[in-house]
Amino acid sequence: MSTTFLRRARGAVVLGMTPVLVLAACGSEGGSGDAADDGSVRMLVNITDNLTQAKWEELVKPFEDESGIDVKIEGPSGQSVAESFPSLLAAGTAPDVIESIVPGPDTAPEVLDLTGYDWASGTPMADLYSTDGTINVVGVGMQAQSLMYYNADLFAEAGITEPPTTWDELDDALAALAAKDVATPIAFASDWATGVQVQEIWHPQQNVTTPGWQQSVADGSSTLGDQFQPVFEHVADWIEAGYTTADDVATDSGTQEANFIAGDVGIYPMGSWFSTTLAASPPDFEVGVFAPPVDDDADAPGPMGATLAFPYMVWKGTANPDGATALVEYLTTDEAAIAAQAEMDSFSREGLEPSSNEYAGMVQELSDAAPSYVVPGNQTVGDYALPVAGFNPKFTELVQGLWQGRSPADVASDLTAWYEAEKLG
C-alpha cells in the first residue's frame, strides 16, 4: 500500500464519510406523490406472532368480496407502525388506513375527521379518545392494562389465600413469596415494558387520588413527578427488599413471560394481551389475575387502565376516502369482523361472546368489575392526552434508574423537569 494511495484514501474518508454521517440521520425532503387511485385501499397494520399477514388478509376478505374493493395489507417498513407512518407521510406514500396507533400532535392534522360518520361515535372508547368531541381514531374494543397475573400455586405455598387488594396486602404477599424462596416475587422487564408495567400497577390508585390526572398536570395544578413519586417509592422498596433486581430491567419481556410460564415468577404485571400468550403456552400451574392495589380497601377495585383495541385511522390525503372509511366501518362494526379480531388478539367489548381462552375470561371479569376505564399517560390523543411527546420512552429510561439506586424523589424530579422542557405549546 503506497503512501500516495493512503493519502488519497484519507482524503476520501474525510470528504466522503463526514457528510454521510448527516445523511444517515437527516434524509432529504420527501416527495409529494399522491396515493394510488386504482380503487384499492392500502392498510398499514401491526404484524406480530398473533397478528400475521395471513390473518389480516383473511379478516378483510369478506369486505373485499362484498364491496369489490381490493385491500392491500402492508406491514411496517420500520421497527413499528408508529415509526413507519411518519416516514411514509414524509415520503408522500402514506397508506389509506393505519392500524395499531393513535394520532399524535404531529400526525393528528394528517388524519381524517370521522366525527361526521354516525357509526364512529358508537365505537368503544370513542369518548376517551376524542378531543373536544372530534373523533379521528376508532377501535373495536378495550385492552385492559391494569392486570397482575399471578402463580396461584406459589401463592398457596406461601400461604396467601386471597389476591391482594391494597398496597399493604401486596407488600405482605411479596414478603411471603420471598420467604418461600420464589426466584422472582414480582417481575419487570426491559425496554418499553419497564415503564408500561410501572404505570399499569399505578393506574387504579393514581386515578382514585387524582381523577383525570393528565388534565391536572396539563393545567399546572399537579406535576408529573408528584403523580408518580408514590409508585416509585413502592418499587424502590421492592428493589431494596430484593423482590425485583437489576437483572429484570435487562431482561426482555418475552423472556420474562417465559419465566412466568416456567413457574419462576410470583406476580407479573402486564396487559390483557399476555392472556393470548398464556393460552398459546398454558403453564402447568394455576394462573390467576387480580387488579393492581389501592391504598384503601374501600376503593377496590380501582379504575382500570385501558387502551383502545385495534385502533384504526384514515389518512386525510387518501385518494379513496369512501373505500377507506367503508373498510374501517366494516372492521369496527361488523360482528363477524369484530369476533375475528377478538380471536386474533383478545380484547373486551360489551356484548362480545365470552372467549374460549380461560385467561381472557378472567381478564374480562376484572374489566367488568372495574368502576371505570382510564387512559394511560402515553395516550397521545383525546381530552386526557398529556401535551407532550415521547412519554413512555422517557418514563422507562428514568424509572429504570430506581434499579440503579436512584432515589424516587430524584427520578420524580427529573420526570417533572423533562415534562416542563418538552411540553407542547
Partner 1 sequence: MARTTTTRRGLLSGLANGLMTLPAAAVYTGLTVVPVGYAVYYSFTQYNGIPSQAPTWVGWENYARIIADPIGDLRPAAWVTLVIAVVGAFLVNGAALGIAMLLRRTTAFNTFARAVMFYPHVLSALIVGFLWQAILGPQGALNNLLEHAGRSTLPFLADPDWALVTLVGVIVWAQFGVQLVLYLAGLQAVSPELQEAARLDGANGPQVFRHVTWPALAPTVTVTIVTSILSLLKVYDVVLGLTNGGPGDATQTWAYEILAVSFANNKVGLACAQAVLLVVVAGILSFTIIALRRRAEEGAEAVG
Query: Which one of the spans 2-10, 305-313, 348-356, 360-368 is the region binding partner 1 (CB under 8 A)?
Result: 2-10
Judged by CB under 8 A, the residue of 123, 207, 244, 251 near partner 1 is 251
Judged by CB under 8 A, the residue of 62, 75, 104, 301 near partner 1 is 104
d(CA 227, CA 232): 10
Work out whether 389 is an interface residue with partner 1 (CB under 8 A). yes
List, in order, residues 6 or more apart from 45 with CB less than 8 Å away: 51, 56, 73, 74, 75, 81, 99, 100
Judged by CB under 8 A, the residue of 23, 241, 336, 369 near partner 1 is 23
Which ranges constitute the DSSP H helices of 161-244?
A: 167-179, 192-209, 213-218, 224-241
β-partners of residue 111 are 315
Work out whether 228 is an interface residue with partner 1 (CB under 8 A). no
Q: 73 or 94: whose CB is closer to partner 1?
A: 94
Q: 180 or 406: whose CB is closer to partner 1?
A: 406
Per-residue CA distances from 283 to 163, 255, 280, 350, 412 (Å): 19, 14, 10, 29, 37
Work out whether 283 is an interface residue with partner 1 (CB under 8 A). no
Judged by CB under 8 A, the residue of 39, 133, 371, 390 near partner 1 is 390
Alpha carbons within 13 angstroms on the beta-carbon side of residue 392 total 17
Work out whether 13 is an interface residue with partner 1 (CB under 8 A). yes
Let me know if 48 is exposed, middle or buried by CB neighbors in 10 A (0-12, 13-18, 19+): middle
Q: 337 or 398: whose CB is closer to partner 1?
A: 398
Q: 262 or 369: whose CB is closer to partner 1?
A: 262
Q: Quick one: which H or E segment has residue 58?
A: helix 53-67
Query: Which one of the spans 119-127, 208-216, 246-254, 282-290 is the region binding partner 1 (CB under 8 A)?
Result: 246-254
CB 94 within 8 A of CB 315: yes
List, in order, residues 6 or more apart from 125 with CB less than 8 Å away: 139, 142, 306, 308, 373
| Residues within window 74-103 making contact with partner 1, judged by CB under 8 A | 83, 86-87, 89-90, 92
Report in angstroms how near the CB of residue 159 gets to partner 1 at its nearest.
Answer: 29
DSSP 107: T
Work out whether 298 is an interface residue with partner 1 (CB under 8 A). no
C-alpha cell at 351: 356484548
Work out whether 242 is an interface residue with partner 1 (CB under 8 A). no
Per-residue CA distances from 398 to 101, 189, 236 (Å): 24, 14, 13
Work out whether 387 is an interface residue with partner 1 (CB under 8 A). no
Work out whether 418 is an interface residue with partner 1 (CB under 8 A). yes
- Note the residues at the interface with partner 1 (CB under 8 A): 1-3, 6-7, 9-10, 13-14, 16-30, 32, 83, 86-87, 89-90, 92, 104, 106-107, 109-110, 190-191, 245-251, 255, 259, 317, 389-390, 393, 397-398, 400-401, 403-404, 406, 414, 417-418, 421-422
